[in-house]
Amino acid sequence: MKVRAFISAVGIAVAASSFAAAGARAEVRVEALDPPLPLTIVGWTAFDPNSSEGLDTTGIAFSNALYDGYRELSVERRAAPDPKDGELFNHKARTAARRSSVLPDWPSDRELSEEDQSVFHSALHFMLGAFDRGGREVAPQDAATAQVSYDCWIEAAEWGREDDIKRCRQAFWDAMNAVSAAADYELTDVDFEPRMAPQAAAVVPALEGYLVYFEWDSTAVTPAGQAALQESIRAAEANPDASVALIGHADRSGDVGYNQGLSERRALVVIEAMDDAGIARARISWDAVGESQPLVPTADGVREQGNRVVEVDLL
């Protein structure tokens, strides 16, 4: 695990040395704090794995659900050989109970392979995008489940626990399906009487833009990209008069000419998917720009998930 902010308790560990020889584990309560802080001593290091137990939650529904989720995850992880993650999730639970902002782990916070970094960047982008569209407000329990499951998944991936990876990943995508559906549709499901002169033309709202992400050096759509592609298809079906504009991109990790062709093939993948879904080709216009117009500026030769993408705009 990379550097994180943990409790510095060298003095406490020394004081508890009679209870915890190297490699042993003991429980200590620091009564000077209010409320008293229970610590776990492992070897010569003190951890705070369970101080979130029994806290009152009086925040918004999303924060309260985060507290429950992170507290349960902390319980799962505190018995692990390395209790740092139990402490991390305990801290997130305490923070949620205090009605403060709690962020999911960033992929760079974890020791992951380059492939896993790409996967988690896509998943994180998809989740935060749904949150920005109101997902935390319209589906607070599902949104909290998604965030906690994401952290569970990325922590399990760092340690290579395959059973936890599968369980947490499935929980994440199940929750995100519910959040995304709520964010896309429930916020617009409002009945109202228009207050305008009868002769005035109705204002057409701006339509959504989508980012369909692809694997590195590939025309295979990532899981997050597949979700965005399906959302864009549903939006195109719901707005039959809208035209669909696509722009294919590639990152800067290969030859310029090769990347141009790769961005074209990626755009065609999206076109074929829309065609298969019944979106008329006449509605679709497209372009491909290779690595010449990166959405995320990088140096030449850098692999960047944010540039392995096809932009989909409904106009």
Q: What is the CATH number of the domain that holds 242?
A: 3.30.1330.60
pLDDT of 175 over the 70 cut: yes
Beta strands in 145-283 (DSSP E): 209-213, 244-248
Q: Are residues 217 and 286 in the same domain?
A: yes
Question: Is 83 among the domain residues?
Answer: no
Q: Which residue has the higher pLDDT, 86 or 307?
A: 307
Question: Considering 123, 151, 186, which residue would you say is the last residue of a domain?
Answer: 186
Point out the least confidently predicted range of 151-160, 208-217, 246-255, 258-267: 208-217
Point out the least confidently predicted range of 95-109, 187-201, 264-278: 187-201
pLDDT of 287 over the 90 cut: yes
Question: How large is the average pLDDT for residues 10-22?
Answer: 41
Q: Which residue has the higher pLDDT, 8 or 249?
A: 249
Determine the pLDDT at residue 47.
54
Determine the pLDDT at residue 57.
75
- Angle in degrees, CA 85, 89, 95, rounded to 5: 145
Q: Are residues 214 and 138 in the same domain?
A: no
Question: Is 193 among the domain residues?
Answer: no
Q: Are residues 182 and 141 in the same domain?
A: yes
Determine the pLDDT at residue 75.
86
Question: Is 224 among the domain residues?
Answer: yes
Question: How large is the average pLDDT for residues 179-195?
Answer: 56
Angstrom distance (rounded) from CA 88 to CA 55: 17
Question: Is 62 among the domain residues?
Answer: no
The total number of structural domains in the chain stands at 2
Point out the least confidently predicted range of 74-88, 89-103, 158-172: 74-88
Determine the pLDDT at residue 141.
95
Q: Are residues 179 and 239 in the same domain?
A: no
* Of 185, 129, 121, 111, the residue nearest 150 (C-alpha): 121
Tokens standing for residue 157: 């991936």
Q: Which residues pair with 41 in a beta bridge?
A: 26, 46
Question: Considering 154, 186, 218, which residue would you say is the last residue of a domain?
Answer: 186
User: Can you spell out the DSSP letters for 108-150?
Assistant: GGS---HHHHHHHHHHHHHHHHHHHTTHHHHSHHHHHHHHHHH
pLDDT of 189 over the 60 cut: no
Sheet with 25-30, strands from edge to edge, namely 25-30, 37-42, 45-47
Q: What is the pLDDT of residues 27-38, one digit of tens each?
A: 444 444 444 445
Question: Is 241 among the domain residues?
Answer: yes
pLDDT of 81 over the 90 cut: no
Q: Are residues 300 and 216 in the same domain?
A: yes
Question: Is 51 among the domain residues?
Answer: no
Beta strands in the chain (DSSP E): 25-30, 37-42, 45-47, 209-213, 244-248, 284-288, 309-314
Average per-residue pLDDT in the chain?
Answer: 79
Determine the pLDDT at residue 1.
59
Q: Are residues 307 and 210 in the same domain?
A: yes
Q: Which residues, in sequence order, are CB contacts of 122 under 8 Å at separation 6+? A: 213, 222, 223, 224, 225, 305
Q: Which residues, in sequence order, are CB contacts of 18 under 8 Å at separation 6+? A: none
Q: Are residues 237 and 277 in the same domain?
A: yes
- Owning domain of residue 139: 106-186
ω into 35 cis (within 30 of 0): yes
Question: Is 267 among the domain residues?
Answer: yes
Under the banding of pLDDT at 50, 70 and 90, the label for residue 305 is confident
* Under 8 Å between Cβ of 285 and 243: yes
Question: How large is the average pLDDT for residues 287-310?
Answer: 91
Q: Which residues, in sequence order, are CB contacts of 204 under 8 Å at separation 6+? A: none
Q: Which residues pair with 314 in a beta bridge?
A: 244
Q: Are residues 112 and 152 in the same domain?
A: yes
Q: What is the pLDDT of residues 42-51, one digit of tens each?
A: 444 445 666 7
Question: How large is the average pLDDT for residues 161-170?
Answer: 93
Q: Are residues 272 and 227 in the same domain?
A: yes
Q: Are residues 226 and 154 in the same domain?
A: no
pLDDT of 12 over the 60 cut: no
Q: Which residue has the higher pLDDT, 291 or 9?
A: 291
Q: Are residues 221 and 300 in the same domain?
A: yes
Q: Which residues, in sequence order, are CB contacts of 195 under 8 Å at separation 6+? A: none
pLDDT of 59 over the 70 cut: yes
Q: Are residues 143 and 213 in the same domain?
A: no
Question: Is 82 among the domain residues?
Answer: no
Question: Considering 156, 186, 216, which residue would you say is the last residue of a domain?
Answer: 186
- Highest-confidence range of 37-51, 58-72, 236-250, by mean pLDDT? 236-250
Determine the pLDDT at residue 45.
46
